[in-house]
Amino acid sequence: MPAPSPTLRDLLGAHATDAAAFCRAHPHAFLVPAAAARRGRRALALGTGALAHPIHAVESAGGPWAAVTVGRSEECDVVLDDPRVSRHHATFERREGTGEYALLDAGSRNGVRIGAARLSAWSLVPVASEARISFGGLELIFLSAADLFALAAPLGPAPLARAR
């Protein structure tokens, strides 16, 4: 059984005030539950409750450029324990050189959406930071490490310290 996903509080840890150190320690993107984020008047924001939500790192044991599998199976790199998610639901690919991500629906039963657009099975579609992604109805926000840190920064180090 895979280890439980860390929370934002766990990820920030000693890097609560140092964006560069956070990004060096986490050179990949993240999936944050949509329930942890809210759309402000101009941008996405995280509430203080976001500190306790599980955060999924979009990374593979195969290295920084290896494909990252997403699904219910414990063999996936990102395990989403939800009955609407297929055993192997989707795959993220990262473009070497640019670091940009693309997402592929791996023929899942309940589909993948980026925003309101449903992906065609087996087609690779670019995905940008702050995109809302639905894996069979399970909604997550895709964030770069820099954007995750920037969204967490307004929460300040005080909520992090209190929880330790």
pLDDT score, position 41: 43
What are the respective helix, strand and coil percentages of the chain, to the nearest 5? 25, 30, 45
Amino acid 114: pLDDT:
97
Report the pLDDT value the prediction gives residue 33, as an integer from 0 to 100.
83
Supply the DSSP symbol for 142.
E
Nearest to 153 by CA among 58, 41, 23: 23
pLDDT tens for the chain, residues 1 to 164? 555 666 666 666 655 677 888 888 888 899 988 876 665 544 555 555 555 567 788 998 888 889 999 999 999 999 999 999 999 999 999 998 888 999 999 999 999 999 999 999 999 999 999 999 999 999 999 999 888 888 776 665 544 333 33
Question: Rounded to an integer, what distance in angstroms lies between the CA atom of residue 33 and that of residue 8?
Answer: 11
Q: pTM for the full model?
A: 0.82
Residue type, 80: L
Q: Which of 123, 103, 97 is nearest to 31 (CA)?
A: 103
Please state whether beta strands 124-127 and 101-105 pair in parallel, antiparallel, or not at all (unpaired).
antiparallel
What pLDDT is recorded for position 27?
87
pLDDT at 42: 44
What pLDDT was estimated at residue 137? 95
Report how far apart the first and last C-alpha atoms of the chain are (Å, whole number): 26
